[in-house]
Amino acid sequence: MHGFVNFFMESPFFLLFTLNVIILLTKAPARSKYCEFTTNITFYMKSQQISYSFIQNLAILSKKSAGFLNIFLCVSLLCGRLSADAQNFSQNDAKVQALLAQMTLDEKIGQMVQVDSGGIVDKGDVAKYYLGSVFSGGNSDPAAGNSPQAWLDEVNGFKAEALQTRLKIPLIYGIDAVHGHNNIEGAVIFPHHIGMGATHDPELVKRAEQVTAAEVAGTGIRWAFAPCIAVPQDERWGRTYEGYSDQPDLVAELGAAAVKGFQGEELSNDPLSVLACAKHFIGDGGTHGGKDQGDAECDEATLRRLYLPPYKAAIKAGVGSIMVSYSSWNGAKMHGNKYLLTQVLKGELGFQGFLVSDWAAIDQISPNYRTDVESSINAGLDMVMIPYGPGRQNNYVEFIQDLKALVAAGKVPQSRIDDAVSRILRIKYQMGLFDGDSTDPKLTAAIGSPEHRAVARECVRESLVLLKNEHQTLPLSKQLKHLVVVGEAADDLGMQCGGWTIDWQGRKGKVTPGGTTLLAAIKGAVSSGTTVTYSADGSEVSGADAVVVVVGEEPYAEMKGDRRNLDLSEADRALIAKAKATGAPVVTILYSGRPLVLGPALKESDAFVAAWLPGTEGEGMTDVLFGDTPFTGTLARNWPKSDEELAGLSSTAHSLFKNGFGLKN
């Protein structure tokens, strides 16, 4: 009792509570004044983002004194001022608890397991082990092919297996839809996040993810491992393009918009409400030297300042799942970090959804798998992403046996299992998965539709950043007599899309049907009197009225995309020099997953455009290059001048272009 009195007296809500009681006893005019007052308090709490601790306080209070809480809640609700910030996922908790009470330990552990479709040799294992989730990694396509229909059939097959179980708990299927539904043939590919960051347009980000959600739902899937809300600090990291910006506030704003795009205003049983997954918690973009899966070496204040705001915003936007990062914080793997996963994320930030691991990530905590299972689950992990099946190391059968043994030995408390499963079931109820989850064929048919492509085209348009434009080189006239286009990237859809496109690492060439390369878009944009000459190697440049040079990075994704040196390649520099030598105006377009060190290429170009990794809709580029719409994109990160700057040997004060830079034409 003494502790409670202390807590209560120290709580900032003591004042509110007392006022509530007094107000209950007063007359109408005073009540309305009071409403104004609580409104102000609520706004203050929102601006300070403290409403979650507020709810937490309430929860603690409620345990200690149900009577007080009731008065407090009733009055606040009567005044209509206790507006919860984030979506409350606990509305089905009675159902969740009732179901949980019927479940055996095997059934509970099964819910916590997510297996890669490629790791499940025998589909019957879904029912045999009561698997709660199946997913497809970047290279795990259905055996029947990569078409939307093949995906839908495969996903439905897995879902049907889960319904063979005693309790018929529906399965939730997950996939990386990180720039459109990018594993599926013919889906619209959006600009990677780095380009979306340059739009600075939350409304557009939201619409883009609405389209992605619709395409994901068209393959029977209701869970996207997106948005990535990393705040990449070092461009040498190969996942820089998966982050919107190096500024936490912008990432927070766009990440929250993306969550709303996927899930809708609220995560719900709407067939278009796709569970979002904010990733990778936390500090993935802050690893030393930009090393993938590396170590974020910083104090807690820095960790919180740079990397926590996007998670606060995502939770406020109602995100239902969060993926933990492969990386470490000051040498300790995030997957075993109870303080950050449980205390900060679930406690302080009030995250009510569930935490999923990254791909075989717990395996990295220690050399002993069983210990990894123990430390990660005890740290607060709710679902574990396991790519391997029987016959491989650390496969799902082994995981299940290990976790069962750990519970039997009292090393993982039953209460932790119950909490994890409750969180997963809560989301499944919230999404209406228990009421059947069939797919409208119209959604499948709309994958890659012109309407969807139009939204991606708009994103491309807004994402281009004009870095240089001498002599008003841009916009180009559609009436030019002879336009020369050079560079293999100009006619390479794979390079235009980057990593995480059809294949995990992406690939060069015609990676997916549909879409328009920049070359094709240019040919479609110019007048009938314009001759367009194209050579990948710049062998045909004579007689040009203008030369468009398209250069950039070849596709890559995590692990393989880290680079120590970010210089534009020798071949690309030579190509620009060759174009310059023609004497015609040179427009250089750069496809890259990050700013590159440009060297003389900038000087040798009359106009220079950072196009990032724009995706399949090349016409978004010609819209702007030929002046149908203006350049509006601006940098969402500093553009380094040199490799020394990247290595921290010279300060960003000397950056080539500062965050926010972008010419208008």
Q: Which residues belong to the active site?
A: 358, 558
Q: Compute the least distance from the CB of residue 86 to ligand BGC, in Å.
A: 23
Rounded to the nearest 5 degrees, what angle is found at the Cα of 70, between the Cα atoms of 318 and 77? Answer: 55
Is the backbone of residue 120 left (phi > 0), alpha (psi -120 to 50) or beta?
A: beta
Query: Minimum CB separation from ligand BGC for residue 173, in Å?
Result: 13
In the bound complex, what is the minimum distance in angstroms from residue 221's beta carbon to ligand BGC?
A: 13
Measured N-to-C along each axis, helices 51-64 and 28-48 cross at an angle, to the nearest 10 degrees, of: 120
Which residues sit at the interface with ligand BGC, rule CB under 6 A? 137-140, 176, 225, 279, 358-359, 504, 558
The residues, any chain, with a CB within 8 Å of residue 352's CB and separated by 6 or more, are: 86, 88, 89, 90, 423, 426
| Cα distances (Å, whole numbers) of residue 13 to 32, 42, 65, 494 | 19, 12, 14, 56
Retrieve residue 326's tokens. 């492969």
54 vs 359, beta carbon nearer ligand BGC: 359
Q: Specify the 3-state DSSP secondary structure of 126.
A: helix
How far apart are alpha carbons 568 and 581 in whole angstroms? 19
| Maximal C-alpha separation, the chain | 89
**Minimum Å distance from CB 416 to ligand BGC?**
24
Separation of alpha carbons 232 and 343, rounded Å:
24
Cα-based torsion angle of the residue sequence 192, 198, 202, 206 in order, rounded to the nearest 10 degrees: -20
Decide whether 295 or 358 has the Cβ nearer to ligand BGC: 358
Nearest CB to ligand BGC, comparing residues 139 and 565: 139
Q: How far is the CB of 559 from ligand BGC (least distance, A)?
A: 7
Tell me phi and psi for residue 480, to 5 degrees: -50, 145
Can you name the residues that pair with 278 across neighbouring β-strands? 322
> Which residue, 138 or 552, is less far from ligand BGC as judged by CB?
138
Q: Give 378-444 as a 3 state SS string.
A: HHCCCEEEECCCCCCCCCHHHHHHHHHHHHHCCCCCHHHHHHHHHHHHHHHHHCCHHHCCCCCHHHH
Q: How many C-beta atoms surround the C-beta of residue 442 within 10 A?
A: 9
Whole-angstrom Cα distance, residue 444 to residue 423?
30
Residue (103 or 115) nearer to ligand BGC, CB: 115
> What is the smallest separation between the CB atom of 528 and ligand BGC, expressed in angstroms?
46
Tell the burial category of 256 from Cβ atoms under 10 Å away from its Cβ (0-12, 13-18, 19+).
buried
Q: How far is the CB of 226 from ligand BGC (least distance, A)?
A: 8
Of 72 and 281, the one with the shorter C-beta distance to ligand BGC is 281
How many other CB atoms sit within 10 Å of the CB of residue 22? Answer: 12
Q: Which of 501, 461, 555 is nearest to 180 (CA)?
A: 501
Q: Tell me the closest approach of the beta carbon of residue 116 to ligand BGC, in angstroms.
A: 7
CB nearer to ligand BGC: pick between 140 and 516 = 140
Least Cβ distance, residue 293 to ligand BGC (angstroms): 8
Residue 501 pairs in a beta bridge with 503
Cis, peptide link before residue 589, omega less than 30° from 0: no
**Sequence-separated (6 or more) residues with CB below 8 Å from residue 555:** 494, 495, 497, 498, 499, 501, 505, 506, 507, 508
Contact yes or no for 470/607 (Cβ under 8 A): yes
CA distance 446 to 450: 9
Residue showing tokens 């067939």: 271
Instruction: State in angstroms the smallest separation of the CB of 362 from ligand BGC.
Output: 13
Q: Output the smallest distance, CB 448 to ligand BGC, in A.
A: 22
Hunting for tokens 């004060």 — which residue is that? Answer: 653
The sheet with strand 354-356 has its strands ordered as 277-281, 321-324, 354-356
Least separation in angstroms between CB 360 and ligand BGC:
7
Closer by beta carbon to ligand BGC, 103 or else 175 = 175
Closest CB to ligand BGC among residues 560, 658: 560
Indicate the burial class of 56 (C-beta count within 10 angstroms; 0-12, 13-18, 19 or more). middle
Q: Give the residue with the Cβ less far from ligand BGC, 136 or 469.
A: 136
Decide whether 492 or 558 has the Cβ nearer to ligand BGC. Answer: 558
Return the number of the residue (20 or 140) whose C-beta is nearest ligand BGC: 140
CB-based closest residue to ligand BGC = 137
